[in-house]
Structure 1
Amino acid sequence: MTTTDIPRPVDKGPGRPASGKRSRGAATGGLRQAISATTLLWVLACLYGLPVLWFILSSLKPASDLFSYPLTLVPHNPTFSGYLTAWRSANFGQYFINTATVCVITTILTVGASCCTGYALAKYDNKWLKVFFVCILATTMLPGEVMLAPEFLVARNLGLFNSFAGIILPAVLTATGCFMFRQFFLTVPDELVEAARIDGARELSIFLRIMVPLSRPIMLTLAILSFQWRWNDYIWPLLMLNDPNKFTVQIGIQSIVGAQNINWSVLLGASVISMIPLIAIFLVFQRYVMGADINAGLKD
């Protein structure tokens, strides 16, 4: 007669906690970390948001209340006179059209050029491409003010002075955009590209049908940044434009500042008006800026 030994359960020692206690302890620790991180983010948000809130609320104050003591955050008698005066005193309608035209065209060209450049730098093994990438990164070490004089001379000699093309073309290729796309395309598995080549896809088809759809989050992120950069740009349009009908929003805001005095209520109202398109663009497109599943076309 054969007997089978049935293993007995191992007794828990006094120093060995139960698995349920360990899981509850881990969950409690994770919850504490999440709460501490959330608290820190809320503190940082308040620190960054308080000056913006003060700025917006100050634009609703009459000019006589802006420097009254003691300072108050909430206006006692809110008024939109600063907004109305700013809109009437400056040709903001034309400024908005000019700035929007420059921003949209520049953003489209910047995203397209950066996407092509980043793909070539990431997926083609060539030593000269690596040297070219180092030269692109080297431009980030130079202050923008150093490049103003040579860029202005080149644009003027090309006949681009006092034209929108003179503002758009020098801003198309950015080191930040090329770096963002290159780093993203490096994370795309090479097997995905090789599989497309085995199936007979050409290089242009691989780029347009595979790489461009995968890089949509980076494209939208760079588009938001590029639109913001061009909308807030002041020095370069000031150098390139001398026709008031071609001025951008930032130059229009500067024209409100008088030689002897500054109407702060009007200046704050104009500044808040200039912020509205940027806020709208960010709110509309922020939900599209998310991670892409770059392994969707691969088998495990």
Structure 2
Amino acid sequence: MSPGAALTASRRVPAPPPRGWARRAKRHRMVIAAFCTLVGVACITLLPFYWMFSSSLRTMENMFSIPIQWIPDPLNWQSYVLAWQAQDFTRYFLNSGFVAVAITLSNLLLCSLAGYSLTKFHFRGRGLMFILILSTMMLPLEVTMVPLFLIIKQLDWANSYQGLIVPFLVDGFGVFLMRQYMLSIPSDLIDSARIDGASELRIFWMIVLPLCKPALVALAVFTFREAWDMYIWPLIIITKDSLRTLPLGISLFMSSYGTSWDQLMAIAVLGTLPMILLFFFLQRAFIQGIAATGLKE
């Protein structure tokens, strides 16, 4: 080989990688970046919950120590026992559970019935009715609290389960959620059942509800969480200790004489367990129900 040919060969630029490989590498980098971002957001979101759990295991002497003891030493499990014995928390848990389950079941039934009528029945004013239902979502509880309290007082439902449950038997968001999901159910399926002689109640119960399982799970999780965490309304209408819900019971730990922060955090951890377990077992159907509500008519 001549010297000129050797010099040319040494200066030869290597061939660029295939274009498909470059696209795959770029896609992999984007996936890794998205994964790292989601992990960071998840850590930021979970940090307050871990701090709450960590604080429940600290002693009062180490509660506000600097630096923060993320892993308490020693572990103070006694705070859970003392917190549970400090008040009648068994009663508070049962009250919150009963109210949350009753409100959830009523919303599942009534909101699904409303969604079925708004999607599978054609009547004058259907669109206007749906708009009016949506408009109720724009009014926070603080706006309707005074007239609602006056109604409950006139009905003599203060200090009763009726006063806690009846005002929340149906919710505009639940109607919206069920309507949006039921839009994906073919109307031909409903018409075929009607031709076969099935009643509307049978169609709703045997055909529509089984197809709406993901939306029902999503609605159940949303409604149960709202009812379980409800604080302002029970604070207004409940004065009897036997009817207090869990959020009201937790507030008893805070007083002008001092706050037992370890016990407060311990009972707060116990209060979050039902929601964590509910979402853990229903998360797949919950995500399916939320994803399907974006379907349009």
TM-score by length of 2: 0.85
Q: Give structure 2 stretches of 5+ with no counterpart.
A: 1-17, 290-297
- Relative distance call for 1:281 and 1:149 in structure 2 (3 A) is same
What is the match of residue 267 of structure 1?
A: 264
How many Å apart are 1:288 and its aligned residue?
3.6
Report the Cα distance in structure 1 between the residues aligned to 2:164 and 2:224, rounded to whole angstroms.
13
What is the match of residue 179 of structure 2?
A: 182
CA contact (8 A) 1:107 1:227 kept: yes
- Relative distance call for 1:207 and 1:28 in structure 2 (3 A) is farther
What is the match of residue 200 of structure 2?
A: 203
Amino acid at match of 2:73: H
What is the match of residue 236 of structure 1?
A: 233
Aligned residues: 272
Report the Cα distance in structure 1 between the residues aligned to 2:37 and 2:236, rounded to whole angstroms.
42
How many Å apart are 1:198 and its aligned residue?
2.8
Give the % identical residues: 33
How many Å apart are 1:247 and its aligned residue?
0.7
Report the Cα distance in structure 1 between the residues aligned to 2:24 and 2:235, rounded to whole angstroms.
57
Report the Cα distance in structure 2 between the residues aligned to 1:251 and 1:187, rounded to whole angstroms.
41
What is the match of residue 70 of structure 2?
A: 73
CA contact (8 A) 2:221 2:286 kept: no
2:151 to 147, 154, 168: 154
Q: Give structure 1 stretches of 5+ with no counterpart.
A: 1-20, 293-300
- Answering whether residue 116 of structure 2 is matched by residue 119 of structure 1, we say yes
- Relative distance call for 1:197 and 1:23 in structure 2 (3 A) is farther
1:284 to 263, 281, 286: 281
Q: Secondary structure at the match of 2:203?
A: helix
How many Å apart are 1:185 and its aligned residue?
0.8
Q: Secondary structure at the match of 2:182?
A: helix
> Structure 1 runs of 4+ off > 6 angstroms?
none
- Relative distance call for 1:290 and 1:46 in structure 2 (3 A) is closer
Q: 1:1-300 residue pairs with structure 2 within 5 A?
A: 27-289=24-286, 291=288
Q: Secondary structure at the match of 2:183?
A: helix
CA contact (8 A) 2:160 2:238 kept: yes
Residues 243-287 of structure 1: CA deviation (Å, up to 9, x unaligned): 101111111111121223212111111111111121122222224
Residues 19-59 of structure 1: CA deviation (Å, up to 9, x unaligned): xx666555545444433332222121111011211121111
Report the Cα distance in structure 2 between the residues aligned to 1:25 and 1:201, rounded to whole angstroms.
59
Amino acid at match of 1:240: I
Which sits farther off after the overlay, 71-80 or 23-32?
23-32
- Relative distance call for 1:133 and 1:105 in structure 2 (3 A) is same
How many Å apart are 1:210 and its aligned residue?
1.2
- Relative distance call for 1:26 and 1:208 in structure 2 (3 A) is farther
Amino acid at match of 1:62: T
TM-score by length of 1: 0.85
Amino acid at match of 1:190: S
How many Å apart are 1:158 and its aligned residue?
1.5
Root-mean-square deviation (CA, aligned residues, Å) is: 1.8
CA contact (8 A) 1:114 1:173 kept: yes
